[in-house]
Amino acid sequence: MVLYRRVKIWSVLLRIFHWTFALSILVLFVTGYYIHNPFALGPWEGSPTNFLMAKVRYVHFLAGYFFIAALLLRFYLLIFGNRYERFTDFIFLRPRNIPRLFHTIKAYLYLGKHESYGGHNPLAGTIYLLVLLMSVAMALSGLYMLYPEGGLWASAGFSIFKTQQMARLFHYFLFWIYLVFVMFHLYLVVWNDIFGDEGLISGIFSGRKFLPAKKG
C-alpha cells in the first residue's frame, strides 16, 4: 500500500498568477479573434469611440494589461517563489532531468508509468518556460502596436520587429500557438488527474498536491 501526504506546492501568489493569466488569455482570445475577423458590426451610437470594435479593442487592451501584470508576477516568483516556483524547477538540462524528460514523454504516450513530481515534471517545466518567453514576445508586439508613435515601446518594438505589420503578423502567429498550447495544457491536466495521483486540478485551487510519503 502506498501512503500519501498532502504537500503545499503552490503559493497564493502562484495561484493568483495562474488564474489571472488564464482568464486574461481567454478574454484576449475572444477579443483578438473579433479584431481579426469582426463577424458582428453592431450599431453605431453617434460617437467616434462608441461602437462595437472600439469597445472590443478597449477590452482587449485592458485584458492585455492584466496579462502583463500576471507575467511580471510570475517572473517575480521565478526568483523569490518557493522551491517549486523558482527558475531552477524549470531547468531540465541537468543530468538527472534528461532521462526524466523522456520518461515523462513515454508516460504520456502510454509507453511508461506515470511518476509523481512535487512541482513541474521535466516536460511541463520545459514547455512553461518556453510559454513565458513567448508571452514576453506577445506582450512586446502588443505594446508596440498600441503605442506606435514614439517612446519606449515604439523604440523597443522597432528594434525587434521593425515594422508594425511584422509585429502584427508575429502577434497573430503567436495567437495560434497559444491556442494549441491551451488545448494541450487542458488535455494533459485532465490526463494527469485521471492517471496520476497528485490531485492536480484541485491543487491549483488549494495549492496542495498528494505525493507519496517518500517524495517532496
The CATH class given to the 4-44+60-212 domain equals mainly alpha
Calculate what percentage of the chain has a pLDDT beyond 90.
31
Identify the three-state secondary structure at position 197. coil
CB atoms within 10 A of CB 208: 16
Q: Is 182 exposed, middle or buried (0-12, 13-18, 19+ CB in 10 A)?
A: middle
Taking phi over 0 as left and psi of -120 to 50 as alpha, with beta for the rest, 90 belongs to alpha
Which pTM was predicted?
0.84
In sequence order, which residues have a C-beta less than 8 Å from that of residue 143 and are 6 or more positions away?
153, 156, 157
Confidence of residue 42 (pLDDT cuts 50, 70, 90): low
Extents of the domains making up the chain: 4-44+60-212
The residues facing 4 across adjacent strands are 212
The single-letter DSSP state of residue 37 is S
Instruction: Give the model's pLDDT for residue 49.
Output: 61
